[in-house]
Structure 1
Amino acid sequence: MRFLPRPSSNAKLAKMSLCASVGLAALMGSQMFTASAQDAEEEADNSERRLNAVVVEATRRAGTTVQDVPVSVTAFDAALLEDTGVARLNDIEQIAPSVQIAQTESAASGTSISIRGIGTGSNNPGFEPAVGVLIDGVYRTRTGIALSELPELRSIEVLRGPQGTLFGRNTSAGVVSINTAGPQFDPEATLGVSAGNYGMYAAEAMVTGPIADNIATRVDIRYRERDGYIDDVNSGRELNNLNRFLMRGQMLFEEGDASLRVIADYGQTDEDCCIGVNLLQGPTGAAVNTAAAFAGLQGFANARPEDLKVALSPNRDIRDDVEEWGISGEYKNQIGTISLTSITSYRDWQADRAQDVDFSGIDRAYRDGTDITDKVFTQEVRLQDTWGDLDWLVGGFYMNEELGYTDTIRTGSQANLYTDLISAGATANPLVPTGFQLTGSLGPAVPTLFVSLPFDTNGDGVPGDPALRIAPGVPAGLPSYFVPGLVDGGGQNSDVFEVKTNAAALFTHNEYMVTDRLTATAGLRLNYEEKEIAYDLTSVAPSCDFFFTADGQSVLQQLGAINALDLALLSCNPAINSEYNGSDNDSFDETNLSGTAKLAYDFTDDFMAYVSYSRGFKSGGYNLDRSGFDSVLFGGNGAQPTDLQFDSETVDSYELGWKSSFNALNATLNGAIFFQDVQDFQENFFTGTNFRVINSDVESYGLELDASIIPADGLTIQGGYAYTKAERQGDVIVPLGNGQNQVLAQGGTQLSLTPEHVLTASGTYLYDISPNLTALFHLNARYNSEHITSAATAGIADNDAYTLVGGRIGLKTADGKWEFSIFGENITDEYYNLASFAVPEQTGTIAVYPGIPTMYGAELKVNF
């Protein structure tokens, strides 16, 4: 889509890119935008192409560049992406200052993207992203689904702020649009190999060319493997490795004005990911270390986080495996003067996870065979034309998604031992230095916390009720009373959730040229969403079953009297609470209007300013976690499907931006000042006992700058700056019952993983050694100011300011036959945290997910 052309404009960079696109399209006789834009960029000179003259689809109209559209967008062409080493979605953070990417215990389901501080982070597949990711126009329903290895890229666009009018559902914070290289009618083939530290090696192959006068094909195959960089001191395993395979085939049909691009792909990952390392041991650390020592293991690694060492249970698997495939078809045609675009897709994505969820060397709890499946069909149709001064577009979108989630949090062989060690430590006193145990796993040397009284104390007519041994007036020597312990391999076996989503939308986006220099834009989207949940939950937890009995309720009351309910939670954690066993279902639907209104004015041929309002919408959903229910045992009203539901999120965004070119200096400078009011911002909090979804209000405002310049022949410098304040508008509170509340996050504080200041810079220098040989020198850097990594660990696991530096040095022939380079990521070996968390059931213990250390290697590509 293009912003309405400016008849008097003679901006050199935009005209070169547009002329190249039009000329090549005429030569090929094709109306297909993706092919013509790709070839146009290949024809353009590198230096000029990088001065924000990348052809973008920010307004869903063909032939527009970054400088043409009244949208806050940063685009990266194939050359810059290759120089920077962008091969996966999480690499773009290095060159896009407004983007922040976090990864927790799973790359498949625990990766999130935020733009301008707004994003959604959780390992729970019930959460959908606030930043939409599209690959070749196909919407990916979860961020992790877009993390697979990518083929050769044509461009990446980062659109900041709500983009719901044109790009559809769940783009309330922005869009990352990835465009891959398409089939060519000129035969070409590429072979590439690379190797590096941590045992990294990769291989890729590509072949493209015609199989008929009007049919071209392309096949890409990529494989990447790398050893892990975090060591398990108990087993010697190397964790956080890479093992990824991609096979992708494309076919392009052209006939007159019509074109059809079909893409089919298959991807697979087989990785031991993702591991958090210990930062701080709380008062329960002694129990962790003692329990692990009983098995001859370390409870925590004797190391700092930057040492990249962890202590886990050797008998528990760590895996994060994904298998996916998909097919899409993009059809384009001219119906008279009307441009028709239709994109149809189907994707099947499956993840299999296993992890040690106590994050230590004790065998307390683990996941085994946790499965996520996501089957998605999407269809989008757009019609666009220009009538006089009006450039109009209308379209429709439909999505059907079937999400399946089978969770298996199971109790380990030392679950009762850990509970009893905590109990003994909490109740130790001068009269009984050993303290008292709860379940009896410590043997006869340690007395039990409860005794069995020979009379009825709670009025149920049954003698032998339990009482605290340490309670006043309870004599010693009475029979021991043990709380039934957890079962090795018990817990969730298993919890099955199914969520079906039907989403439909009608939208229009119209640009009207009021004068030769003033353009008004109006867009509107009507969204309808319908979600249905069904679940079947099964947990084996004898401790929870016991607490439902009259005697068990008496135990809970007595523990509450001495403020030791944490002991009950250790033996009946909400994640395995059998109170919630059973089946149920629920559904809801919602209708929402989103849209945009803009005014753009060309003050000169090289300076355009715009003011805009946009409203974004992110649908509500269900928290797929049994711990989200209200427990009767602990003051709630019992499990109900509505306990899991959370509200939709809306964003009202106001923006003042500009696009400027300085042709005499070979430079561009673009910027935007923004304010975003986010209502019912969706967050998943760990309350200390369970995971709850909380809706709250947030304001985000700031300044963004993008600049580029060619100060000398062969030298291109690009940079970006983002100042972002993303503040909570009130305390985030969860009720505890009895009129008490818990504050999970303070109002007025910055959202986690949101630096106030981010600065990115990259420079590329091409030097002709001889007429046939060119040297490449590339350097890129990203600076993040200090910021918190989670609300629960604020002030403890914060990131200090840090800078990540990457680079590439290479040689390539003028005819493009071969290219050799050496590269590095985080070459100064800067330590930083991707995220942090308070470890469940280990009060005061904090763990962090470290960033990637220094990676380097060499790459050779040969073109035929």
Structure 2
Amino acid sequence: MRTLWKPVMGLLCTVSMTSMAQAQDAQDSDAPEREVIIVTATLRAADVQDIPIAVTAVSPEQLDRQNVQDIKSLTSISPSFNVQSSQTESQGTSIRIRGVGTTGNNTGLESSVGVFIDGVYQSRPGIALGDLLDLERLEILRGPQGTLFGRNTSAGALNLTTKRPNLTKVEAFGNFTYGNYDFFNVQAGVSVPLVNDQLGLRVSGAYRKRDGFLNSVGVPGAESSNRDRYVIRGQLLWEPSSDISIRLIGDYAKATENCCDAVIVRETELQPFFAFHGLPNDGVAVFGQSALNNLQTNSQQFLNNTEQYGFSGELKWDLGPAQMTYIGSYRHFEAESAQESDFVSLNLFSTGRGSTAAAGFPRTGGPIKTMTHELRFQGSAFNDALDFLVGAYYSDEKIDEVQSMTLGTDYQRAVSAGNFGNLAGVNPLFALTALGNGGVPVNAAGNFAVNRFRQDAESFSIFTHNVFNITDNLSLTLGARYVDEKKQGSFDQLAANSPACQAIVNGVITGAVPAALRGGALGATCFPHLCGAYCPRYRRHRAGQHHPGPPAAARVQPGLQG
């Protein structure tokens, strides 16, 4: 067991000043009126030009005009905002603002770009990739925002606000879109006042489907980048008096999609050596500009399924000197993926229930359960000379993920060609494993590993964001934040079979494997299975059961490994 504890403190100081020319223009009655854009990026309703931070505010009408269906498409509106997916959207997505972000291939890492939906933090980018449905506002905040939100947002934040139920009249909306690749998208919703001026209900939903636009020539029928997802959201708003507002939200979403294959733009110079090792080719039939123009790939089928549901409650209470806001939430997110990460048609290796896996092989994925609580007090003092905000935040997150990998029938010959060429003879891995196995070659085909990673994380923070209005045209913003975060992680290899790795290790220990070939041999046979043949015998547990660890060269630190 390993516990990580790290207190963090932050300080923000910003000076906002309106120039004399701007002030004069504002006083000039002949000056044309500009459109006022009200945002809540600082948790206060304000004109976007009066906020001393870089904010991009996007209206629902802009999203419709640009055909932005989810946050991955926001680059068309804000070029500094970028979302990238590597091999899987649910577990390998990275969000970046101004090029700054966190790698997406390690489930144990939170994103440095925070995503907030109705004030609720989405703990992983894959959770936030659903459709943008029934929005009232979308705001992109660039730069650190830790003094405004309970979670650390060192690169920026994406703040999404959905429309609230209407308490006075019935509202309804609907839209339908059809496009190429049999693209089909429908959204609809209705808001109904249950008790006039006091209680209202709003229900909205969306369904989106599209054929994949990447098609594999190596495996006919395998496609990628399709869409097949739906989401439904229900809200209940109760305002028993002018001082109290209670908002309850529940949602459910599911996606069954194939992502993320890739076009190969450059063929390897080692391609001729594959025939030398008994393979007809290297699995690359199309590449370069032609493959890019025709959107053709070489890999086998990817799989990317997600299912999630969540509940949140918001209480706003005007106490007079200050307004109290409490937001509590719970979210259950579960993903399953199968990845053909070699991107070629050869039967090399796959993670999850891929092409090389035997029947009944465990999936790659698992649940992420997150509970959050946030409490804020904000208001003004000293005749509006001070606009203050003080808050506290707590979250408890539990991750339980299984990652599995299997080596295919072409693996050993392919890595021999790629790593050794013809320098060590035909299929040198057979010869190398024989050196460590009493002269009997060992084939890596069929080797597998099933690893389980767990992480429990607790985070507590207090933060404050204060605006001192010195004059009508000059203000000073001071903010601070303190964080106490603890993580406990564990690793356990549930099952594995890697005699080829054991043979190579034996050969390295005895000196039978030549020194110049040791690195390539170990990497080709042992790396895909993390700690190889040792882990089934030496497991680490979180519940206080400590067994003798594996040798240092094979030891895996607890925590989530991508």
Q: How does 1:398-409 map to 2 (within 5 A)?
A: 398-409=394-405
CA root-mean-square deviation:
3.2
- Look up the match of 2:6: none
Q: How does 1:460-609 map to 2 (within 5 A)?
A: 481-488=439-446, 490-492=447-449, 494-537=450-493, 538-549=495-506, 551=507, 553-554=509-510, 558-561=513-516, 563=517, 565-579=519-533, 581=535, 582-584=538-540
Relative distance call for 1:451 and 1:190 in structure 2 (3 A) is: closer
Q: How does 1:84-483 map to 2 (within 5 A)?
A: 84-185=66-167, 186-213=169-196, 214-236=198-220, 237-256=222-241, 257-286=243-272, 298-302=283-287, 303-313=290-300, 317-368=301-352, 369-388=363-382, 389-421=385-417, 425-427=421-423, 435-438=425-428, 440=430, 448=431, 481-483=439-441
- The TM-score with structure 2 as length reference comes to 0.84
Relative distance call for 1:286 and 1:170 in structure 2 (3 A) is: farther
SS at structure 2 position matched to 1:182: coil
SS at structure 2 position matched to 1:486: coil
Give the Cα separation in 2 of the matches to 1:289 and 1:329. Answer: 62
Measured against aligned partners, the alpha-carbon deviations of 1:703-730 in whole angstroms (never above 9, x if no partner) come to: xxxxxxxxxxxxxxxxxxxxxxxxxxxx
Give the Cα separation in 2 of the matches to 1:450 and 1:534. Answer: 31
- Look up the match of 1:656: none
SS at structure 1 position matched to 2:264: strand
Q: Is the 8 A contact 1:228 1:239 kept in 2?
A: yes
Q: Is the 8 A contact 2:504 2:521 kept in 1?
A: no
Q: How does 1:38-49 map to 2 (within 5 A)?
A: none
Give the Cα separation in 1 of the matches to 2:337 and 2:305. Answer: 6
Kindly state the Cα deviation for residue 288 of structure 1 after the two structures are TM-superposed: 5.4
SS at structure 2 position matched to 1:553: helix
Q: Return the letter of the residue paired with 1:78.
A: P
Relative distance call for 1:515 and 1:449 in structure 2 (3 A) is: closer
Q: Is the 8 A contact 2:399 2:454 kept in 1?
A: yes
Q: Is the 8 A contact 1:334 1:340 kept in 2?
A: yes
SS at structure 2 position matched to 1:223: strand
- Look up the match of 1:639: 555
Give the Cα separation in 2 of the matches to 1:112 and 1:279. Answer: 22
Q: Is the 8 A contact 1:289 1:300 kept in 2?
A: no
Give the Cα separation in 1 of the matches to 2:74 and 2:433. Answer: 58
SS at structure 2 position matched to 1:278: coil
Alignment gaps of 5+ in structure 1: 14-46, 429-434, 441-447, 453-464, 467-479, 588-629, 646-683, 685-690, 692-864
Give the Cα separation in 2 of the matches to 1:5 and 1:337. Answer: 27
Relative distance call for 1:567 and 1:70 in structure 2 (3 A) is: same
Measured against aligned partners, the alpha-carbon deviations of 1:462-507 in whole angstroms (never above 9, x if no partner) come to: xxx88xxxxxxxxxxxxx934422242x321x11001000000112
Relative distance call for 1:482 and 1:81 in structure 2 (3 A) is: same
SS at structure 2 position matched to 1:85: coil
Q: Is the 8 A contact 2:400 2:453 kept in 1?
A: yes
- Look up the match of 1:444: none
SS at structure 1 position matched to 2:90: coil
Measured against aligned partners, the alpha-carbon deviations of 1:129-158 in whole angstroms (never above 9, x if no partner) come to: 111111111111111110011212111111
Once structures 1 and 2 are overlaid, which stretch shifts more, 163-172 or 409-418?
Answer: 409-418
Q: Is the 8 A contact 1:438 1:483 kept in 2?
A: no
Q: Return the letter of the residue paired with 1:127.
A: L
Counterpart pick for 1:69 among 51, 74, 77: 51
Measured against aligned partners, the alpha-carbon deviations of 1:800-851 in whole angstroms (never above 9, x if no partner) come to: xxxxxxxxxxxxxxxxxxxxxxxxxxxxxxxxxxxxxxxxxxxxxxxxxxxx
Relative distance call for 1:147 and 1:340 in structure 2 (3 A) is: same
Relative distance call for 1:509 and 1:576 in structure 2 (3 A) is: closer
Q: Return the letter of the residue paired with 1:560.
A: A
Q: Is the 8 A contact 2:133 2:162 kept in 1?
A: yes
Q: Return the letter of the residue paired with 2:88.
A: S
Q: Which has the larger radius of gyration?
A: 1
Relative distance call for 1:374 and 1:451 in structure 2 (3 A) is: closer
Give the Cα separation in 2 of the matches to 1:282 and 1:420. Answer: 14
Give the Cα separation in 1 of the matches to 2:47 and 2:40. Answer: 8
- Look up the match of 2:64: 82
Kindly state the Cα deviation for residue 298 of structure 1 after the two structures are TM-superposed: 4.3
Relative distance call for 1:70 and 1:324 in structure 2 (3 A) is: same
Kindly state the Cα deviation for residue 5 of structure 1 after the two structures are TM-superposed: 13
Relative distance call for 1:575 and 1:286 in structure 2 (3 A) is: farther
Relative distance call for 1:437 and 1:393 in structure 2 (3 A) is: closer
SS at structure 1 position matched to 2:509: helix
Relative distance call for 1:349 and 1:573 in structure 2 (3 A) is: same
Kindly state the Cα deviation for residue 416 of structure 1 after the two structures are TM-superposed: 2.7
Kindly state the Cα deviation for residue 90 of structure 1 after the two structures are TM-superposed: 1.2
Relative distance call for 1:226 and 1:12 in structure 2 (3 A) is: farther
- The TM-score with structure 1 as length reference comes to 0.56
Q: Is the 8 A contact 2:150 2:374 kept in 1?
A: no
Give the Cα separation in 1 of the matches to 2:118 and 2:184. Answer: 27
Give the Cα separation in 2 of the matches to 1:417 and 1:79. Answer: 55
Q: Is the 8 A contact 1:341 1:382 kept in 2?
A: yes
Q: Is the 8 A contact 2:17 2:473 kept in 1?
A: no
Kindly state the Cα deviation for residue 86 of structure 1 after the two structures are TM-superposed: 1.9
Q: Return the letter of the residue paired with 1:85.
A: N
Q: How does 1:773-788 map to 2 (within 5 A)?
A: none
Q: Return the letter of the residue paired with 1:344.
A: G
SS at structure 2 position matched to 1:558: coil
Relative distance call for 1:450 and 1:247 in structure 2 (3 A) is: closer
Relative distance call for 1:542 and 1:394 in structure 2 (3 A) is: same
SS at structure 1 position matched to 2:89: coil
Kindly state the Cα deviation for residue 10 of structure 1 after the two structures are TM-superposed: 9.0
Number of equivalenced pairs: 516
Kindly state the Cα deviation for residue 577 of structure 1 after the two structures are TM-superposed: 4.0
Highest RCO, 1 vs 2 (Cα 8 Å, sep ≥ 6): 2
Alignment gaps of 5+ in structure 2: 1-14, 27-31, 353-362, 544-548
Measured against aligned partners, the alpha-carbon deviations of 1:635-663 in whole angstroms (never above 9, x if no partner) come to: x6441527x69xxxxxxxxxxxxxxxxxx
Once structures 1 and 2 are overlaid, which stretch shifts more, 200-209 or 263-272?
Answer: 200-209
Give the Cα separation in 1 of the matches to 2:254 and 2:42. Answer: 33
SS at structure 1 position matched to 2:75: helix
SS at structure 1 position matched to 2:514: helix
